[in-house]
Amino acid sequence: MGNAGMGNGEGARKTKLEEPDRKRRLLEMTAGMNEDQLRAVLDKLLGGEEALQAETGNGFGPEAFGAEKIENEASGVGVGDWNTFRRTLLEREPGLSAADALERVHIVPSDSAAAGLRQALQPEIESGRERVYALGDNLSYGPIRGLDSREGGGNEENGQYEESGKHEGGWIDRLGWLEETAGLGDAERRRGLDGDYRLLAELPERLSADTEIVIWAAGTAADQTALRLVLFLFRHFAGTVRIVDALDVYGRLQSLGRIGRKGITVTHLHSGEMMPDDLRAVWQAASGMTWEKAARLKEPGMLRDGKAVEAEDEGLISIALPGEERRRLEREWTALSVDGATLRTYRDGSVVAVPEDYYDGYLLETAAEVCGPGGEYRKAARVVGQAIGYSEEHLSDGFLNHRLNMLVYSGKLEFRGVPRLMRMYEVRPVR
């Protein structure tokens, strides 16, 4: 075999990429693709020649992606045909066209909760009737201006930017803020969130009005802020939009003895803590509720008699929003997205902006407890973890670590290490 025909390197072509080049090329080829699109790629590749030919007109083999056309030796894939194939996926989201007759799309403001719900609804998802999409970004903190578009300036029709005379914000600005202040993580995480936002922005135009939208939003600042953003994105969607508060439904089912173990009360801070079986039970119980029935069930005493509740309704509290309520929540998003706040909490049914140092006192108290009477140095991760564990609210570790950094820089905590990521430093009260 030898090196016949290869010459001394003159005109030679690499047939195998070095590992760093391979990873870089793979990231370039899959940029902007979400989980479902990547699954479609694997389906085509594993499906062999017939499946791939149906998409690109080529077979599956050395020349499947037009390898004979490659001029750039740093590329290991036929650029022209790969881009053709990739474009078909980006332009045709699997299962989102009206022809696919999706019955229902679930939107979940948490990666962990979305993963659990996908397991819970696996039969419906595999049948092609339903899909679950996540927004894995905690919107209780950080800038949220212009999140309906990538670069900002997407809300001119509602007059959001009239007072400033310029376009600001966008989810790219938010991701930059998170990277700088809250330890967003690696580039892969940033690309994932970029993909989440891109999909949500495009989703309303891709769905038929016959598809029901279900937004899973519990009574937390993160969920309720995301709820208002999603409703704003779907403001022109003519179909039904439903809301499920998984924590509320679980609590009601538990009080009626229809879920969990007798004598044991379980409290969740967010839907991501719930097991798939519990999420399925919640969804089954929550079907068929109307806005009016939900309002009646919230009246004092209505839930003390489990038989009365079950006799009146098959479901508990999955609210099909009437138009006026949708408009109200859309307006709330408009107001929230221009107020400039970087921290939000949820009170009495509303998302409320609070000062960025709102939790600083709580963090200082927690640090004092963790460090003990002797004021020993303790890992920042331990302080943040205890603050989250003992809080009655769903708090973000990224934001609490950011505030712990600020307490260090302001001289309210002593430190050793590098006050950046939680694993990189320790803190103790000032002596």
Question: CA–CA separation, 85 vs 58, rounded Å?
Answer: 10
Task: State phi, psi for 351 to the nearest 5 degrees.
Answer: -85, 125
Query: Which residue in 227, 281, 221, 222 sits closest to 249, CA to CA?
Result: 281
Q: Look-up: residue for tokens 């927690």?
A: 366
Alpha-carbon separation of residue 406 from 370, 372, 426 (angstroms):
18, 22, 14
Question: CA–CA separation, 124 vs 415, rounded Å?
Answer: 51
Helices (H) and strands (E) in the chain, counts: 17, 10
Question: CA–CA separation, 392 vs 387, rounded Å?
Answer: 10
Name, in order, each residue with C-beta under 8 angstroms of 79's C-beta and a sequence gap of 6 or more. 65, 66, 69, 70, 72
Question: CA–CA separation, 75 vs 67, rounded Å?
Answer: 9
pLDDT the model gives residue 73: 36
Judged by phi (left if over 0) then psi (alpha if -120 to 50, else beta), residue 24 lies in alpha
CA-based end-to-end distance of the chain: 75
Question: CA–CA separation, 348 vs 269, rounded Å?
Answer: 17
Question: CA–CA separation, 156 vs 154, rounded Å?
Answer: 6
Question: CA–CA separation, 271 vs 212, rounded Å?
Answer: 21
Question: CA–CA separation, 81 vs 332, rounded Å?
Answer: 46
Q: What CATH number belongs to 360-429?
A: 1.10.10
Tens-binned pLDDT, residue by residue, of the chain (431 aa): 444 444 444 443 434 445 556 556 666 566 556 666 666 666 656 554 444 444 444 443 333 443 333 333 333 444 445 555 544 444 444 444 443 468 999 999 999 999 999 999 999 999 888 999 999 999 999 999 999 888 876 544 444 433 433 336 899 999 988 888 866 666 778 888 999 999 999 999 889 889 999 999 999 999 999 999 999 999 999 988 999 999 988 988 888 888 888 778 888 888 888 999 999 989 988 875 444 444 444 443 333 333 333 333 433 445 667 788 899 999 999 999 988 899 999 998 899 999 999 999 999 999 999 999 999 999 999 999 999 999 888 888 989 999 999 999 999 999 999 888 888 999 999 98
Cα Rg, the chain, nearest whole Å: 25
Query: Which residue in 31, 397, 404 sits closest to 185, CA to CA?
Result: 397
Q: Domain spans of the chain?
A: 19-89, 99-334, 360-429
Q: Look-up: residue for tokens 């564990």?
A: 389
Name beta bridge partners: 351.
346
Question: CA–CA separation, 180 vs 191, rounded Å?
Answer: 15
Question: CA–CA separation, 151 vs 154, rounded Å?
Answer: 8
